[in-house]
Structure 1
Amino acid sequence: MDIPARVAAFRAAGENRYGLVTDAGIIDLTPEFGMRFKDLQQIVEAGALEALIAAGQGRSPGWRQEDVEFLIPIARPEKLICIGVNFPDRNAEYKDGQAQPTRPSLFIRFPRSFTGHGGNLIRPRESGQLDYEGEVAIVIGKAGRRIAPEHAYDHIAALTLCNEGTIRDWVRHAKFNVTQGKNWDSSGSLGPWLVPFRDASQLDDISLTTRVNGEVRQSDRTSNMMFDFRYIVNYISTFCTLVPGDVIVCGTPSGAGARFDPPIWLKPGDVIEVEAEGIGLLRNGVADE
């Protein structure tokens, strides 16, 4: 697969910026587009992602990747919706005797619960049960309500990756929700960049892998998802209007730390890598609050 265009939000020289990522570095396009668009979210909302990419072609990088702080690509989404238990093996991990679900489980995360590529996931003082979940995330580029599955891909602007970090004991505090275990500040990550969505082959059957300290913990293909990306867009848009900049995190394979016996929780010094074919690699460390 060809190397896709990659657009990142980053901080350098004391300012938030955005630009085109190449193997040689980052082409800063903030000077050209910054008067019109504050951040990548406004770029996506205006449908200007392809124009931004075109403007960076043939230019020389001004920043090395190792010299910048990567930010989460979409800083202020109206909605950040996550899909729970979306791979058959993941459903079997629960060992609760329940059949494969016929509708997806959904929950909400707040942007502050994520850090960018290269940052540390934060283990809070209240719990040692910080866990990882590698996932593909889609970014909505065209508003819609009751979007038919066959038109769902017309509404996706870009793809990114998510480590949907979770404080496991806190998701079990109540019977009908997981919100309090999913929204600790900087407990997860998004990034490292946006890849423009142009073709169904970018989503329908790609590999998704999570490694902890180089050890493969999760590995599956999106073709095995119980609820595919078209269905997810259709289902969510049935009850709420999706708008440009909305982020949907689409489910994790089996192999999270909670499912080992005994469980293997993340600890300071660990390095987690979430990698998906054609999207990239999201890498984070772990630190105590």
Structure 2
Amino acid sequence: MTLAKFASFYTSDGQGYGLVSDHGIIDLSRRYCSKWPTLREVIADGALTRLADEAATLAPDVSLADIRFEIPIPAPEKIICVGVNFPDRNEEYRDGQAAPPNPSLFIRFPRSFTGHGQPLIRPPESPQLDYEGEIVIVIGKGGRRIPEGSALDHIAALSLCNEGTIRDWVRHAKFNVTQGKNFDRTGSIGPWLVPFTDEAQIADIKLETRVNGWVRQQDRTSRMIFSFRKIINYVSTFTTLVPGDVIVTGTPTGAGARFDPPIWLKPGDVVEVEADGIGLLRNPIADEV
């Protein structure tokens, strides 16, 4: 079965969203912008599947060469990231401690991400730009204190993230990592959203990150310390989840910081994050100008 791929993009005519095919973009925003200005409103209305069905026979309106991919959900209310969610990643800390009973969380701002194909930006403040390939879940049905048993009913779609990090800036304070996680355009989300269907779709996804074709990270969602159900349950305990919220679910071992000596990203490098049934997110690296 071919899954629908919904992307947000920018053309010379402005911002839009649509369905991605091998031959271009079916521009849904031209047809539905008065009802659903962005994919966030489509998701809130539970209309992803309906739009995919209605557009199935339409021809592309725009060539892929004529668009710039944006992050799929513009201006989400929340982007919540999970830290240390694979066993080998926990062992990297070498503190002898077992995985904690609850996930470690931090917040990122939308401006810290860019879209597929756009450069990740190394800031002048530090050369320590690092990669973290991750799977993204997008909330479709809001809720508070969501039980694990029904948590997957609240997922609308899946995507990918390169949760780029400025490593020395996550150690500027004692208790937080906010600074190093939020430099403008150091991470990416995309290329698109794939509608969520059922638990089998996410039970054992292979997730891989490559730098210049070299595999740096590889693991499977079946090995996650905190399941998708647990993450949604835990996060919704302290904050109300709303449609369009983005949850970045954790990276495997193998980031550049863990090499001896560390291998930081530099201009000219290309990072690819790929996952079964979702797609491939690719970004070059550039210095801020």
What TM-score bracket applies, with the shorter chain setting the length?
A: over 0.9
Task: Measure, in 2, the Cα distance between the counterparts of 1:280 and 1:4.
Answer: 11
Structure 2 matches for 1:23-172, cutoff 5 A?
A: 23-172=22-171
The alpha carbon displacement at 1:55 in A equals 2.0
Amino acid at match of 1:93: E
Task: Measure, in 2, the Cα distance between the counterparts of 1:231 and 1:111.
Answer: 24
Task: Measure, in 1, the Cα distance between the counterparts of 2:106 and 2:209.
Answer: 22
Q: Which runs of 4+ in 1 moved over 4 A?
A: none
Amino acid at match of 2:80: I
Task: Measure, in 2, the Cα distance between the counterparts of 1:267 and 1:64.
Answer: 30
Task: Give the count of matched residue pairs.
Answer: 288
- Cα deviation code 1:66-98 (max 9, x no counterpart): 321000001111111000000000011111222
Task: Measure, in 1, the Cα distance between the counterparts of 2:220 and 2:59.
Answer: 35
Structure 2 matches for 1:207-218, cutoff 5 A?
A: 207-218=206-217
Task: Measure, in 1, the Cα distance between the counterparts of 2:95 and 2:187.
Answer: 27
Deviates more, 1:109-118 or 1:67-76: 67-76
Q: Given the two structures, how large is their TM-score scaled by the length of structure 2?
A: 0.98
The alpha carbon displacement at 1:174 in A equals 1.2
Secondary structure at the counterpart of residue 230 of structure 1: helix
User: What residue in structure 1 maps to residue 10 of structure 2?
Assistant: 11
Task: Measure, in 2, the Cα distance between the counterparts of 1:195 and 1:120.
Answer: 23
Deviates more, 1:41-50 or 1:232-241: 41-50
- Structure 2: stretches of 5+ with no match in the other structure: none
- Structure 1: stretches of 5+ with no match in the other structure: none
Task: Measure, in 2, the Cα distance between the counterparts of 1:64 and 1:257.
Answer: 35
Task: Measure, in 2, the Cα distance between the counterparts of 1:59 and 1:12.
Answer: 19
Q: Given the two structures, how large is their TM-score scaled by the length of structure 1?
A: 0.98
1:73 touches 1:194 (CA, 8 Å); kept in 2?
yes
Q: Percent identity?
A: 66
- Cα deviation code 1:229-276 (max 9, x no counterpart): 000000111111111010000000000000000000000011000001
The alpha carbon displacement at 1:120 in A equals 0.4
User: What residue in structure 2 maps to residue 257 of structure 1?
Assistant: 256
Deviates more, 1:256-265 or 1:94-103: 94-103
Task: Measure, in 1, the Cα distance between the counterparts of 2:154 and 2:5.
Answer: 19
Say whether 1:228 aligns with 2:227. yes
Deviates more, 1:214-223 or 1:19-28: 19-28
- Cα deviation code 1:75-131 (max 9, x no counterpart): 111111000000000011111222222111000000000000000000000000000
Task: Measure, in 2, the Cα distance between the counterparts of 1:13 and 1:125.
Answer: 30
Task: Measure, in 2, the Cα distance between the counterparts of 1:114 and 1:45.
Answer: 22
1:3 touches 1:278 (CA, 8 Å); kept in 2?
no
